[in-house]
Chain A
Amino acid sequence: MQMDDVKIRNIGISAHIDSGKTTLTERILFYTKRIHAIHDVKGKDGVGATMDSMELEKERGITIASAATYCEWNGYEINIIDTPGHVDFTIEVERSLRVLDGAILVLCAVGGVQSQSITVDLQMKRYKVPSIAFINKCDRSGANPFRVIDQLRAKLGHNALAMQIPIGLETDLEGVVDLISMKALYFDGDNGEVIRMEDIPEKLLAEAKSRREELIDAASMFSDELTEAILEGDEITPDMIYAAVRKGTLKREITPVYMGSAYKNKAVQPLLDGVNHLLPCPSEVENVALDMEKNEEPVVLENDPDKPIVALAFKLEDGKYGQLTYIRVYQGTVSKGSTIVNVRSGKKVKVGRVVRMHADQMEEVEELKSGYIGALFGIECSSGDTFVSSGINLTMTSMYVPKPVISLAISPKDNKSQMAMSKALNRFSKEDPTFKTFVDQETNETIIEGMGELHLDIYVERMRREYGADVETGNPRVAYRETITQRADFNYTHKKQTGGAGQFGRIAGYIEPITDAEFIFDNQIFGGSIPTQYIPACEKGFKQSMEKGPKLEFPITGVKVVINDGAFHAVDSSDMAFQAAARGAFREAYSRAKPVVHEPIMKVVVETPPEFQGAVMGLLNQRRGMIVGSQDEGTMCVVESQVPLSEMFGFSTVLRSSTQGKAQFTMEFAQYRLVPQSIAEKIALEVAQNKKTAA
């Protein structure tokens, strides 16, 4: 481990929407002297929080794109990625977690572990990111940090350990008792920047002692030295406790819990101490790349600045001076003027300006060593690309990218907007792998696809604001799919002789349903009834047929095609003839294979005060939702359900009006499921109608 590496922390701040993570980040930047004034998320001063740099984010009070920034605390360099809280932007959260070494899980002292905290926690588990928790909003009425700790244990299975206890709660919140130093900490000054350390108030002493005991007990599982000190009755030093808790944290077997109120400037600084003491430095995290030359064999990277470069571009942004590419360097040193290779395209790129970002302000640096996060200017690449030194061919593990479930037709209002729109679409699809765009060849419409209504809304809005593209949008369309439910044989001859060269090809075989793949082509022809050179044409013909079902025109999935016989003509057979024969054969068999339509089903979790539970369940039920269950959480209750995406349009408005705006919901893709017959008929009618209109 290099000396300076020990004092680097690459962390993320992940949480449920509205649990106050942007405010927390703002305070962190203030205490680390990166900013000199505090602005609230939805502030009256009209400035907005520093991390919410996109205009739209400031307006809606939510964080969309993760801005990266760095700061220093007690000699440690901390790179922070602020991550979006809404589930529609989960890809951003996942991308951030990929490049982080540790995270702060922010929880609301009133709301506790909410549905999205569970999603975010699952993502952290997937990328094995060690975390510490911060229970925020302890100044709010109904705050109960120890209930949240219980929820961390029960709902997320964390071995959550309080590192502090609060001094007062709700409006009486004064500070915290640090269970390691056994001192009471108060936060004075206009913005809580002056820390006053005093003896623990008498009334809290007993609780502090028992909580400290709990903490030491749990930590001793990870340190022989600490266990020995307990058994021998020796003095237990703060270093001993930190070392043991740190070990547990890095293994993800302990989640240390800090608490306070970012908004009221209470106890943010001790959380930063916790980041320094307990989260890993880059060398302590194993990062694996795939060797493209050895059949994607995993290679463990060394966090050594002198080794060849391996860096990942995890975020792109359009800045004033061109494309800004956020990178995390895993190995080697990326310096100004050096040459790096984009593994995906094979292109060599010369590194121009290297900067470190502080939301939308930047600081120019000479180099980024392994373990660091920074940004490059003027590099043409896509998000998720790996950059390496010439001569090596490693790629960082590809990130899990979910398929889009919703689409929308957009059209520019005028010529100027046309140019701006295509520029914006190009940028967005590079920035966000879950955002896709294409032109429908039949209707000639530009279609955008994404992970939810809000996801697409935000991009349309960004198109207008950032690119000046005035666009009209059509109704959102759900990504239905077709599949077959039984085996059907085919024996199709394509024959055409209308002057000129004829066309001839016969294909026989069967199609059958499969569940573990989208399409399988199995050639079982022996004896050359179809010559080998035409087999790829047959496959291509079948694949083309899968793109659109013959009746409803949705993509077809889950089909295995087996061909076992056929015929050809020495003169008239060609690739084209066999492609056409395959398409004909598929059409012939498809209608007999009992095709059905599947629709995306979303997991919808609504959190509501108990008095609206009945109304919420009614709303979900009206939307063909299946309610899995309802969970009583004291002040709130959670209704879990599965609802077809097609029924979820406009749900947020209805939910707001039915619950006086007190309920909120998250939605994520769960599975594809068979559409009921009555709905399938409705869809068929709609498709026919659309076809008519298009014609």
Chain B
Amino acid sequence: MLKKEIIYRNPLVKLGYEQEDILLNGGLGAVMAHAGVGKTALLVQVALNMMIREESVLHVSLQDAVSNVDLWYREMFHNIAGSFTEPEIQEYWDKIQPYRFIMTFRVESFSVPTLEERLTDLLQQNIFKPHTVIIDGLRFDQAGREQLLLLKELAKKYAMRIWFTVHAHRHEPPADNGLPVSFLHVADLFDVIVQLEAKGDEVYIKALKGQSADAKQHSLLLDPATMLIKEGK
């Protein structure tokens, strides 16, 4: 039941990305928004969706401590599973938690070779093999194209897909295609781009790149109270 509830709530399938995986092996995806709009919340939902399908998610955070990231997952999971009893939630959480691994780095010490080194630690000892990686907090205005190319290579090498949060600065006017100027130099490397936009009290989600051509574009809203997707008007 709980599994159905999470799949039902999968924001990206609702947005017109019909494939379950959305990203293929070696693919890169981005969720972009201004600060505080809900990038992490959205990607945590994507991760939870993977976890219940028994696909492993490596969550790399460059801004939060392990305990904070863990709290994000627990909160989101509780929000999604709100109608179930506490023991049911706990039991299911215990079941899916092993499919998640959190790794945190300081922004200044994060590099692709370091990530690969850590990843090999996990793979060689058969501790964890990620299907999807989430990288939260990478500064695209500072990260060169080179770093992104390395990450794309890494994704291919280990048969993973990588999701990023992209921070769009408020003071920065978007380019013609709606993307932040500081992101343009790497935009072509991404297979899927999703944008979150706050309008008044509501947060809209828009697919900017990669959804299936015949998919009907839904108008999707993020409920600011629970940070969950709700159907638009």
Inter-chain contacts of B98 with A (CB < 8 A): 626
- Judging by beta carbons under 8 Å apart, are A628 and B94 in contact? no
**CB pair B70 A614 closer than 8 Å:** no
Q: Which residue in chain A gives the minimum CB-CB distance to B58?
A: A629
A366 within 8 A of B: no
Cα-based distance from A621 to B127 in the complex (angstroms): 7
Q: B87 within 8 Å of A by Cβ?
A: yes
Whether A632 lies near B109 (C-beta < 8 A) is yes
Contacts A613-B121, A617-B121, A632-B106 aside, 19 further interface pairs with beta carbons under 8 A come to A155-B65, A515-B87, A613-B118, A614-B125, A621-B126, A626-B97, A627-B127, A628-B66, A628-B102, A629-B70, A629-B102, A630-B66, A630-B102, A631-B66, A632-B109, A634-B106, A634-B109, A638-B66, A640-B67
Residues 612-668 (chain A) with a chain B CB within 8 angstroms: 613-614, 617-618, 621, 626-634, 638, 640
Q: Which of B59-115 contact A (CB under 8 A)?
A: 59, 65-67, 69-70, 86-87, 94, 97-98, 101-106, 109-110
Instruction: List the A side residues contacting B124 at CB < 8 Å.
Output: 614
Q: Which residues of A contact B86 (CB under 8 A)?
A: 515
**Chain B CB within 10 Å — which of A155, A515, A621, A631 has the most?**
A631
Nearest 5 pairs of A and B residues by beta carbon: A629-B102, A614-B121, A629-B66, A515-B87, A632-B105
Cβ contact within 8 Å between A617 and B122: yes
- Does any Cβ of A come within 8 Å of B128's Cβ? yes
Does A230 sit at the interface, judged by CB under 8 A?
no
Contact B94 A618 (CB under 8 A): no
B residues in contact with A626, CB < 8 Å: 97-98
Alpha-carbon distance between A617 and B123 when the two chains are bound, in angstroms: 11
Select from chain B the residue with minimum beta-carbon distance to A625: B127
The answer, yes or no, to whether A206 is at the interface (CB within 8 Å) is: no
* Number of B interface residues in the complex (CB < 8 A): 27
Residues of A close to B66: CB separation below 8 A: 628-631, 638, 640
Bound-state Cα–Cα, A633 to B65, Å? 10
Q: Which residues of B contact A617 (CB under 8 A)?
A: 121-122, 125, 127
* Size range of the chain A interface in the assembly: 20 to 34
A618 touches B101 (CB 8 A): no
Q: Which residues of B contact A154 (CB under 8 A)?
A: 65
A512 to B128: give the CA distance in the assembly, Å: 37
Interface presence of A126 (CB below 8 A): no
Beta-carbon contacts of B206-232 to A below 8 Å, as 1s and 0s? 000000000000000000000000000
Let me know if A413 is at the binding interface, CB within 8 A.
no
B-side residues, CB < 8 A to A, are: 59, 65-67, 69-70, 86-87, 94, 97-98, 101-106, 109-110, 118, 121-122, 124-128
By a CB distance below 8 angstroms, the chain A residues around B122 are 617
Contacting B at CB under 8 A, from A580-623, are: 613-614, 617-618, 621
A515: shortest Cβ distance to chain B, in Å?
A: 4
Q: Can you offer 7 A-B residue contacts whose CB atoms are under 8 A?
A: A614-B121, A614-B125, A617-B127, A618-B125, A627-B127, A630-B102, A632-B103
**Chain A 655-695 near chain B by CB (<8 Å), digits 1 or 0:** 00000000000000000011000000000000000000000
CB distance from A597 to the nearest CB of B (A): 15
Say whether B127 contacts A629, CB under 8 Å.
no
Q: Which of A515, A632, A673 lies in contact with B94, CB distance below 8 A?
A: A673
Report Cα–Cα, A618/B125, bound state, in Å. Answer: 6
Cα-based distance from A613 to B161 in the complex (angstroms): 24
Is B103 touching A630 in the complex (CB atoms < 8 A)? Answer: yes
Question: Which residues of chain A are near B87, meaning CB under 8 Å?
Answer: 515
Complex Cα gap A674–B90 (Å): 12
Given contacts A155-B65, A634-B109, A640-B67, contact A627 B121 (CB under 8 A): no
Contact of B103 among A155, A614, A629 (CB under 8 A): A629
Q: Which residue of the partner chain B has the closest CB to A515?
A: B87
Residue B128 contacts which of A627, A673, A674 (CB distance < 8 angstroms)? Answer: A627
- A674 CB contacts on chain B under 8 angstroms: 94
Contact A631 B127, beta carbon cutoff 8 Å: no
Using CB atoms, name the residue of chain B closest to A674. Answer: B94
- What are the residues of chain A within 8 A of B104 when measuring CB–CB? 629-632
Question: Could you list which residues of chain A lie within 8 angstroms of chain B, going by C-beta atoms?
Answer: 154-155, 515, 613-614, 617-618, 621, 626-634, 638, 640, 673-674
State in angstroms the CA–CA spacing of A638 and B106 once bound together. Answer: 13
A640 to B101, CA, bound (A): 10
B177, chain A: closest CB distance, angstroms: 35
Kindly list chain B residues whose C-beta atoms are within 8 Å of the C-beta of A628: 66, 70, 97, 101-102
Nearest residue (CB) in A for B120 is A614
* Chain A residue at minimal CB-CB distance from B104: A631
B65–A631 touching, CB < 8 Å: yes
Q: Smallest CB–CB gap between B11 and chain A, Å? A: 24
Residues of chain A within 8 A (CB-CB) of B59 are: 629
Q: How far is the CB of B36 from chain A (nearest CB, A)?
A: 17
Residue in chain A with minimal CB distance to B127: A621
Closest Cβ–Cβ distance, residue A45 to chain B (whole Å): 42
Chain B residue at minimal CB-CB distance from A617: B127
Nearest CB in chain A to that of B69: its residue: A629
Given contacts A614-B125, A617-B127, contact A630 B67 (CB under 8 A): no
Min CB distance A309 to B, Å, is: 43
How far does the Cβ of A525 sit from chain B's closest Cβ, in whole Å?
28
Q: Which residue of A lies closest to B106 (CB)?
A: A632
A135 to B: closest C-beta gap in Å: 19
Distance, CA A613 to CA B120, complexed state (A): 11
- A155 and chain B: residue at smallest CB distance: B65
Query: Which chain A positions have C-beta within 8 A of B69?
Result: 629
Least Cβ–Cβ distance between B86 and chain A, in angstroms: 7
Report chain A residues within 8 Å CB of B125: 614, 617-618, 621
Q: How far is the CA of A140 from the CA of B70 in the complex (A)?
A: 33
Q: Chain A's nearest CB lies how many Å from the CB of B137?
A: 13
Considering the chains assembled together, what is the distance between the CA atoms of A154 and B107 in angstroms?
Answer: 14
Task: Please name all residues of chain B whose beta carbon is closer than 8 Å to the beta carbon of A621 when the two chains form the complex.
Answer: 125-127
Q: Closest residue of chain A to B87, judged by CB?
A: A515
Inter-chain contacts of A673 with B (CB < 8 A):
94
Instruction: Report Cα–Cα, A155/B128, bound state, in Å.
Output: 26
- B67 / chain A contacts, CB cutoff of 8 Å: 640
CA distance A634 to B105 in the complex (A): 9
Q: How far is the CA of A674 from the CA of B92 in the complex (A)?
A: 12
B91 nearest CB neighbor, chain A only: A674
A617 to B102, CA, bound (A): 13
Q: What is the bound-complex CA distance between A211 and B48, given in angstroms?
A: 43
Inter-chain contacts of B105 with A (CB < 8 A):
632
State the Cβ distance, B183 to closest chain A Cβ, in Å: 25
Q: Which of A155, A613, A629, A638 contacts B101 (CB 8 A)?
A: A629
Report chain B residues within 8 Å CB of A640. Answer: 66-67
| Distance, CA A163 to CA B64, complexed state (A) | 27
Q: A630 — which chain B residues lie within 8 A by C-beta?
A: 66, 102-104, 118
Looking at the assembled complex, report how far the CB atom of B72 sits from the nearest CB atom of chain A, in whole angstroms. Answer: 12
Contacting residues, chain A, for B94 (C-beta < 8 A): 673-674
Cβ contact within 8 Å between A627 and B101: yes
* Residues on the A chain within 8 Å of B127, using CB: 617-618, 621, 627
Question: Residues of A contacting B121 with CB < 8 Å?
Answer: 613-614, 617-618
Residue of B nearest to A626 (CB): B98
